[in-house]
Chain A
């Protein structure tokens, strides 16, 4: 069933929408959740919570691409679950590993006086990513949005692991320079 038809079911408040979503996207969402949580049971719970969140979000939302919309919900739910359950630095999940990598974009330590509106920060990161070549953007988002392992990002972006790591390193440096220029750091 195509996305437009599934979204229509949500708008009609037809509960078949959830079944159709599960049939089409359960594996896709489970992978996103597992990248963050590294626990199958918790990941399944996050995916189930995603279906409820989608039911509550549509309407008023009418996403053009259901996969990325649902993926965003799963990502947020899974990160919240991880933060509640564990310290964010523990465990071998890709989320924890990527956190330590993203530290490179920030100055040493934290400055409690810097108050950044999340929305402005998102816009700034969006501008930065749009200024990057598409391959760089895909590698960065594959690693830090979808939290895929580096070897997997390398595979679907058509790069070697070494090239991917180098590209990520350079992009993190560039992002840091961009955030400093925009006054977030």
Chain B
């Protein structure tokens, strides 16, 4: 079920960046959960998941990722989980 995306509604996102970030970075990235996965060639990818308040917060987060020089791989909006 696709809900319409607005500018001001919270949504769950999954963001992937290259490199391994440890869990202590969670606070820095707005409380997102940080996990690590491996790609087929063995390199590490950090996956941040969590609810982001609105589009402004999302762009702020992406900017923090850019500020740190982390290569961005994927940004995906996830379907809302049932309450």
**Pair from one complex:** no
Give the interface of B toward A (CB within 8 A).
none
Give the interface of A toward B (CB within 8 A).
none
